[in-house]
Structure 1
Amino acid sequence: MDIENRSIEFIPENERYGSAKRLFTIWCSANMQVTTMVIGALGIVAGLNLGWTFIGLILGNLIGSIFMAAHSAQGPHLGIPQMIQSRAQFGVIGAGVPLGIVVLAYILFTAANGVVMRDSIKAVVPVSDNNAIILFGVLTLIVGFIGYELIHRLGAWMSAFSCVLFIMAAYIVLQKGLPAGVWEVSAHTFKFATFALVVTQAASWTLGAGPYVADYSRYLPSNISTKETFWYSYLGIVVGSGVVMLLGAIMAAAAMDVITDPGSAIANLFPGHKQLAYYVIIIGVLGWNVMNLYSSYMSTTTIFTGFKGAQRIGMMTKFIIMAIVAAIVTWIAIAAQYNFGAYFSDILIGQVYVLVPWSAINLVDYYLIRKGNYSVPAMYDVNSIYGKVNWNTLAIYGVSIIAQIPFMELSFYKGPIDKIVGTDISWMPALIIPGVLYYLINRNKQLHLDTEKVGFSEGKLAYESKR
């Protein structure tokens, strides 16, 4: 298998391949891993019973995955990475603002995965805590550098292996039995604040894939329908994350320690095959971690190439950028490993504040304003129709983040509305405010769609002829 030689540039039609079905396996496997179990356990740990936690997790998954899949559908149509397309809304250089935030969010999540896998790696390799995290970081770097096709193939295999592992784990836990009354769904057992938090956390998990989901659909042929791309992506993440979150909730209800060491919690269910279980667990999280690193590299590259209009990145530059990001991730994981609970909860909720407004702006622009008509070459040119910096969009983005402050709840801060409601519901204003504002300010751009459509088709052909 060759190392991927494309990065942030447009993928010509003669290099497109595959079917939308592979989007199901990559998103199913990426989410069917033990880090996702932690999300499912958080509601139980916070005091909600199993019945209401199940409903909250399912609802959050169904809601958040809509937006993730809507981003995925952009990949085959445009043939470029997700965050390059943000230049159409924020400007070629202005897109660096949300890009920088995206890079930070994925660095923190990649570090979280290193902490989650520390004890699982130590169970198969006799190393120290720090060295286990370093080893996981090195493996992530190697697979991420090889790139797109290996990531997809890993996803196809792991969707099958992980599915078998987690279904067997659920059967074993349920066979042992659960405490009486944990399934009761009634007004007596309902806790609004905790239920809303469970919905937010589950939705946050799937919404978080939005800024890079099109990175893994951009090689698909452009004649694949938006409907196919949407539904295979949607079902993949709903099935993958839903099954494992629900298992995490069941195990937490059975008084099993899912949050501290979810890998060992699963492996210990198979006393005769613990080593095999650990390998499946480690490779499963590795797949998700690689996707985070790969897209962190893509976003970092997008920031810096915006200033020079560069469209291609050399292999050595690619490796250096990935290695730097991997080193930063590993350092953060080592530093945060003994205070993981608060760290993970904060980044899970914190990403809602910064990623959801970007998602709302991007989707409104794509589906309501320009209706998928873009000039791809213009996204690589600072003097193009998209301009250097779109100050209106940046202002909307900033206002949307500020507007969430009263709704926020972190380990070190609780907003006034959060105190009244009893939980963090910031994802609602994070979606509504930027979406409405962006539409109202930009709806007249519909008058210029024909001009941009010509720019898209002619520019695309001109770009391909240079390859």
Structure 2
Amino acid sequence: MPGPAEPTTPAAPAAVEQHTIDHVPDHERHGRVRDLFTMWFGTNIAPLPLVTGAMGVQVFHQSFWSSVLAIIVGQLVGGVFMALHSAQGPQLGVPQMIQSRAQFGAIGALLIVVVAAAMYVGFFASNIVLAGKSLHGLAPAVPVDAGILLGALGSAVICWIGYRLIHTLNKVATWVLGIGIVAGLAVVVARGLPDDFFTRGGFTFAGWLATVSLSALWQLAFAPYVSDYSRYLPRTVRTASTFWATYWGSCLGSTLAFLAGTVIGLAAPGTDDTVAGFDSAAGSFGPVILVLFLFSVVNHNALNLYGAVLSLITIGQTFRTHWQPRQAARGAVSAVVLAASLLIAVGLAGDFVSQFVNLVLVLLVVLVPWTAINLIDFYLVHRGSYALGDLFLPDGGRYGRFNPVALVSYAIGIAVQLPFVATSLYTGPLVAPLGGADLSWLVGLAVTTPVYYLWARNRGETAPASAQRNAPREPATSA
């Protein structure tokens, strides 16, 4: 039911974020669209995209130019989906996982929320491994495990303070890390590249496509939480402006980090540890790189912890519908995620690269059909107009507890990918005839998109009249 009229004058934003998964009212909206450029450029200058970028030459044995082309193609394609999700934030003012209830239903959405939570925990654990190694490289007396703990605690503090600090740190990171990584690469090149730098490796279609997929996935992996960082912007900002600021910030930042990884993968071929390779190849500038990476991984990883916390709170609120979680709840859930991630990170530290490859390839299979359904529903079916209050109702309101159209489409989207999946855990029967190339994500997009769109339109699932004027229900209790 409609709530009281909201003040028209924006309130000064709190230093410590108070909201979690609830709707951000218009009078609390703040920020500028251009902040999204620095948000996504700064957060992408980090060790994990560096490690991922090196996989083209280290794991898939592509040449320098083959890997560069694959990285650029993957970033430009994957960035489209990521930025389209970002543009949803100002229009709805709720986290991405809450908005997914409009497609999957109040209970049905738990499927993708659980997947998203697992993804964030996996990336958080992977990043704190890199934080531990960076700190150990700077101060060998500090064990890697101790560095992992310190990196995790730093990210937890940022997550607890929340939205404003995350944006502020990424404004700093855009300049400091951007200049730092360019300077580091210049030093590596000036010190001399190996004679076979441009001739090592080669082109194989399977390896090239696998590199494209990893690059595209880096962008797609942001999709379940990218609008969480645009939802505080005023509702009046143009959708196109939100899209382009996010798109170019994320694509340029991650491309720079991926290309740096490619260079280091070839310039320091004797190690699978790309961060240590950058330290070694940069000579006396190496410690500067490690300091910058330590800052970047703590900063970047706060997003993964923030996303995991919001996802877990969403799960809890689904079953406790009168709960209004605030800052205290975010702190408590952060502590739980932190403890679990530390256990995972210590286990990952010994065999990081191969474990991480398996993680990202599995994520690709489950993320693709969700992103297709979410975007088609927002832009073509409901056209950005939802009954926001119904998203917080115990029975899901007009969206129900389960939406069989979305859930079956999602299952179809996963099933059609399986014959084309090529991982060390599972290889589909159609991979060998295609020369070993993994085409699963392309098949998933191509099938899920029309299946969901035609089915939803035929069932008459369209935007409710005046849906945007429905104020979200305010739960009775708080935490």
Q: TM-score under structure 2 normalisation?
A: 0.91
Aligned partner of 1:377 in structure 2 is 389
Secondary structure of the residue that 1:248 maps to in structure 2?
Answer: helix
Indicate if the aligned counterparts of 1:117 and 1:263 stay in contact, CA closer than 8 A. Answer: no
- Larger deviation: 174-183 or 414-423? 174-183
Q: 1:223 aligns with which of 236, 245, 263?
A: 236
Aligned partner of 2:314 in structure 1 is 302
Aligned partner of 1:339 in structure 2 is 351
Amino acid corresponding to residue 119 of structure 1 in structure 2: K
Q: Distance in 1 between matches of 2:151 and 2:137?
A: 13
Gaps of 5+ in 1: none
Amino acid corresponding to residue 83 of structure 1 in structure 2: M
Question: Alpha carbons of 1:257 and 1:390: their partners in 2 closer, same or farther (altered >3 Å)?
Answer: farther
Amino acid corresponding to residue 303 of structure 1 in structure 2: I
Alignment of 1:160-309 (within 5 A): 160-179=175-194, 182-183=197-198, 189-256=202-269, 259-260=272-273, 262-272=274-284, 274-309=286-321
| 2:39 equivalent to 1:26 | yes
| 2:25 equivalent to 1:16 | no
Secondary structure of the residue that 1:211 maps to in structure 2?
Answer: coil
Q: How far did 1:264 drift?
A: 3.1
Provide Cα deviations, 1:332-356, integer angstroms capped at 9, x if missing partner: 0101111112101011111111111
Q: How far did 1:310 drift?
A: 3.7
Q: How far did 1:299 drift?
A: 0.9
Q: 1:148 aligns with which of 141, 151, 163?
A: 163
Amino acid corresponding to residue 151 of structure 1 in structure 2: I
Alignment of 1:10-159 (within 5 A): 10-45=23-58, 46-125=60-139, 126-159=141-174
Q: % of aligned pairs identical?
A: 32
Q: Distance in 2 between matches of 1:273 and 1:448?
A: 57
Q: Distance in 1 between matches of 2:438 and 2:377?
A: 27
Q: How far did 1:178 drift?
A: 3.5
Aligned alpha-carbon RMSD (Å): 2.3
Amino acid corresponding to residue 210 of structure 2 in structure 1: L
Aligned partner of 2:427 in structure 1 is 414
Amino acid corresponding to residue 102 of structure 2 in structure 1: A
Q: How far did 1:433 drift?
A: 1.8
Amino acid corresponding to residue 149 of structure 1 in structure 2: R
Provide Cα deviations, 1:406-433, integer angstroms capped at 9, x if missing partner: 1112223211112222122211122122
Indicate if the aligned counterparts of 2:41 and 2:252 stay in contact, CA closer than 8 A. Answer: yes
Q: TM-score under structure 1 normalisation?
A: 0.93
Gaps of 5+ in 2: 1-13
Q: Distance in 2 between matches of 1:122 and 1:236?
A: 31
Question: Alpha carbons of 1:311 and 1:29: their partners in 2 closer, same or farther (altered >3 Å)?
Answer: farther
Aligned partner of 2:332 in structure 1 is 320
Provide Cα deviations, 1:362-406, integer angstroms capped at 9, x if missing partner: 000001101101111111013300111112311221222122111
Q: 1:395 aligns with which of 393, 408, 430?
A: 408
Provide Cα deviations, 1:202-256, integer angstroms capped at 9, x if missing partner: 0011111000000000000011100010000000111100011111111212234
Q: Distance in 2 between matches of 1:364 and 1:128?
A: 48
Q: How far did 1:278 drift?
A: 2.3
Secondary structure of the residue that 1:416 maps to in structure 2?
Answer: coil
Give the number of equivalent residue pairs: 460
